[in-house]
């Protein structure tokens, strides 16, 4: 063998070994990723049920499967938290793609509890008139049929129900669990799409007012596509700046602590344009999901048009997931840019609080009123975000826990007030509801008082926590604006209470449907959480405080 051949064989050896190393499978910590894996596994099984189970058996199987999936995932979150992964054992899993730490586990627990209660509102089948095949739910009998067409009429007459909603709910929750735990920008984007696409479909499935529901879904889809485009463009720019999509890697480049940057990286680090524009675009994509001004235009139309069980779930869980992702991005990736993003979030918070509170006064539809209320609450939560302190993180976590159950409970009550056309959401039809059905009106009043931040409700404890954190973080002016916005908001909440209890009921007014145990449990859980977090919030504030440290 010639010397040339020998040297060629020697040169090939390291290439082969490098290829072998590159092809090794990554180590996946399945136990630490178990909450998300359980939910996504249940979603896949749900699709198989839709494909192979007979139509009459699907409803019971899907309700049980979704409930067990969420309960099992919540048990996995508790096991991880009790095993120390929320504190001293916090780590990065999934080849660096997912963070398992206090904020991630806390928010995943909240999302799973909200989803478990949402399953009950999705499964309600006593509110609509019975179809030819038995009891029906709030969702379109045959979503693929043209609204008002022969196919829809035949499906309604047969009493069909849309059990695909449960796998869609499971997939949406799976994406939401991954969203606040994402530890690199690509995982963040994938999680966003995994939970957004099922929500676009769910918004179009209302049994009544199908055209309004489909219009809401199209608006949500189109504006959501724009926000996703901003997000992925921002991710591309941040990658161009830092040469990595890892949160820790980007943070090192932003802070200038990279030990020996390459020539290409040093060149990109010399200009902050990619960083500032990319960071702004990613934040814009997340602010769209939380419904903050000026990215709020989809909120009132989608909340009004979507099936009310979907609206309640989406209003509660999406905010939890999106604020979790926003907190991780700002506190882990971009703390070095605090002086750039903090003034912007100040402006967004102020405008969101004031516009949400003022415009809500003009609303005549209950669902649109609650939509503008949610915009104002996004501003209140941002007050805790801009505190840029551990207290700010823990206050936001507590506020999200409190707000999610109040919202879910309030929309569950909205499903009960009905007339011949379905849900009676026009405010004029709620006049005298306290005399017609005192218990339902009293429960709704509790939720409205919690939204207003009245003492002894969870809303007061949540607002006090975020305003206290903001004041201690030097955002006293923001707190003043928040208190003013809260006073404005209290006006329209109290106005609805006065309308229910101090107005004469109309003779042809709506009736209050008697729900099954599903909706009763959902409303009962909402009331219980609202009162417990209002009367004795300290344990949960301490829990949020212990869970408020991000792993990096």
- Give pLDDT tens digits for 63-79: 999 999 999 999 999 99
Contact 406/526 with Cβ under 8 angstroms? yes
Q: Give the Cα separation of 411 and 371 in Å (integer).
A: 11
Instruction: Determine what percent of the chain is predicted with pLDDT higher than 70.
Output: 92
Statement: residue 7 has pLDDT above 80: no
**Residue written as token pair 């609204």:** 147
User: What confidence category does residue 14 fall into, taking pLDDT thresholds of 50, 70 and 90?
Assistant: very low
Mean pLDDT on 384-396 = 89
Q: Give the Cα separation of 307 and 216 in Å (integer).
A: 10
Per-residue pLDDT at 2: 47
Q: Give the Cα separation of 413 and 510 in Å (integer).
A: 14
Residue environment code for 77-104, b if the CB has 16+ CB neighbours within 10 A, otherwise e: beebbeeebbeeebebbbebbbbbbbbb
Three state DSSP letters for 498-532? HHHHHCCCCCCCCEECCCCHHHHHHHHHHHHHHHH
Contacts of 393 (CB under 8 A, 6+ apart): 103, 327, 331, 384, 548, 549, 550
**Residue written as token pair 């509170």:** 357
Instruction: Output DSSP code: residue 243.
Output: S
Strand order in the sheet with 422-423: 422-423, 417-419, 511-512
Instruction: Output DSSP code: residue 455.
Output: T
Using CA atoms, how far residue 50 sits from 162, 287, 428, in Å, is 10, 35, 41
HSE-CB for 174 with a 13 A CA cutoff: 24
pLDDT digits (tens, 9 = 90+) for 397-438: 999 999 999 999 999 999 998 887 777 888 888 888 888 889
pLDDT digits (tens, 9 = 90+) for 189-219: 999 999 999 999 999 988 888 888 999 999 9
User: What confidence category does residue 263 fall into, taking pLDDT thresholds of 50, 70 and 90?
Assistant: low
Mean pLDDT on 456-481 = 91
pTM attached to this predicted model: 0.91
User: What confidence category does residue 261 fall into, taking pLDDT thresholds of 50, 70 and 90?
Assistant: low
User: What confidence category does residue 551 fall into, taking pLDDT thresholds of 50, 70 and 90?
Assistant: confident
Contacts of 12 (CB under 8 A, 6+ apart): none
Mean pLDDT on 491-520 = 86
Q: Give the Cα separation of 195 and 171 in Å (integer).
A: 6
Statement: residue 13 has pLDDT above 60: no
Contacts of 95 (CB under 8 A, 6+ apart): 26, 27, 28
Burial (Cβ within 10 Å: 0-12, 13-18, ≥19) of residue 149: exposed
Query: What's the mean pLDDT when you consider all of the chain?
Result: 87
Radius of gyration of the chain, Cα coordinates, nearest whole angstrom: 25
**Residue written as token pair 């602590």:** 257
Per-residue pLDDT at 264: 63
Using CA atoms, how far residue 195 sits from 40, 112, 320, in Å, is 11, 14, 13
Query: Bridge partners of 423?
Result: 418
Contacts of 541 (CB under 8 A, 6+ apart): 394, 398, 461, 465
Per-residue pLDDT at 49: 93
**Residue written as token pair 């994938």:** 190
HSE-CB for 473 with a 13 A CA cutoff: 25
Burial (Cβ within 10 Å: 0-12, 13-18, ≥19) of residue 191: buried
- H/E element, 348: helix 338-361
Statement: residue 341 has pLDDT above 70: yes
Statement: residue 23 has pLDDT above 70: no
Residue 274, classed as helix, strand or coil, is: helix
Q: Which of 282, 295, 85 is nearest to 186 (CA)?
A: 282
* Preceding amide of 48 cis, omega within 30: no
Per-residue pLDDT at 17: 47
**Residue written as token pair 């003022």:** 358
Statement: residue 444 has pLDDT above 80: yes
Please give the structure tokens belonging to residue 270: 């010399």
Q: Which of 174, 186, 165 is nearest to 38 (CA)?
A: 174
């Amino acid at each position: 063998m010639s010397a040339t051949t020998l040297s060629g064989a020697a040169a090939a050896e390291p290439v082969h070994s490098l290829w072998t190393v590159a092809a090794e499978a990554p180590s996946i910590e399945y136990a630490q990723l178990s909450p998300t894996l359980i939910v996504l596994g249940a979603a896949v099984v749900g699709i198989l049920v839709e494909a192979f189970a007979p139509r009459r058996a699907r409803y019971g199987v899907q309700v049980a499967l979704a409930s067990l999936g969420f309960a099992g995932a919540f048990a996995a979150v508790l096991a991880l938290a009790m095993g120390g992964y929320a504190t001293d054992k916090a780590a990065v899993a999934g080849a660096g793609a997912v963070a398992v730490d206090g904020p991630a586990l806390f928010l995943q627990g909240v999302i799973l509890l909200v989803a478990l209660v949402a399953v009950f509102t999705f499964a309600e089948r006593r509110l609509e008139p019975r179809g030819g095949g038995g009891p029906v739910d709030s969702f379109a009998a045959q979503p693929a049929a043209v609204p008002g067409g022969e196919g829809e009429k035949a499906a309604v007459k047969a009493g069909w129900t849309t059990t695909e909603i449960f796998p869609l709910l499971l997939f949406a929750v799976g994406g939401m669990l991954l969203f606040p735990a994402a530890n690199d920008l690509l995982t963040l984007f994938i999680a966003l799409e995994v939970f957004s696409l099922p929500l676009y479909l769910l918004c179009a499935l209302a049994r009544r007012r199908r055209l309004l529901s489909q219009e809401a879904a199209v608006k949500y889809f189109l504006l959501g596509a724009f926000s996703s485009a901003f997000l992925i463009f921002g991710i591309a720019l941040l990658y161009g700046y830092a040469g990595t999509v890892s949160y820790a890697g980007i943070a090192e480049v932003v802070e200038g602590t990279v030990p020996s940057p390459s020539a290409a990286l040093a060149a990109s680090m010399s200009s902050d344009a990619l960083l500032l524009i990319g960071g702004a675009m990613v934040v814009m994509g997340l602010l769209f999901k939380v419904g903050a001004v000026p990215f709020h235009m989809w909120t009132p139309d989608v909340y009004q048009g979507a099936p009310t069980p979907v609206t309640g779930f989406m209003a509660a869980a999406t905010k939890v997931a999106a604020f979790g992702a926003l907190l991780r991005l700002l506190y882990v990736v971009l703390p070095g840019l605090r002086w750039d993003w903090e003034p912007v979030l100040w402006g967004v918070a102020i405008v969101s609080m004031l516009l949400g509170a003022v415009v809500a006064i003009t609303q005549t539809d209950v669902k649109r009123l609650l939509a503008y209320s949610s915009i104002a609450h996004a501003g209140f939560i941002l007050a805790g975000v801009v505190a840029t302190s551990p207290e700010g993180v823990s206050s936001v976590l507590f506020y999200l826990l409190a707000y999610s159950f109040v919202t879910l409970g309030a929309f569950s009550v909205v499903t009960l007030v009905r007339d011949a056309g379905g849900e009676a959401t026009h405010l004029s039809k709620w006049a005298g509801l306290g005399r017609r059905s005192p218990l339902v009106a009293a429960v709704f009043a509790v939720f409205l008082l919690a939204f207003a931040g009245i003492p002894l409700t969870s809303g007061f404890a949540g607002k006090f926590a975020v305003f206290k954190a903001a004041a201690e973080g030097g955002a006293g002016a923001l707190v003043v604006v928040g208190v003013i916005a809260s006073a404005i908001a209290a006006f329209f909440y109290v106005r609805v209470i006065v309308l229910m209890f101090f107005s004469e009921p109309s003779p042809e007014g709506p009736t209050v449907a008697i729900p099954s145990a599903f909706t009763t449990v959902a409303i009962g859980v909402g009331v219980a959480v609202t009162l417990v977090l209002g009367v004795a919030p300290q344990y949960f504030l301490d829990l949020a405080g212990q869970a408020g440290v991000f792993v990096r």
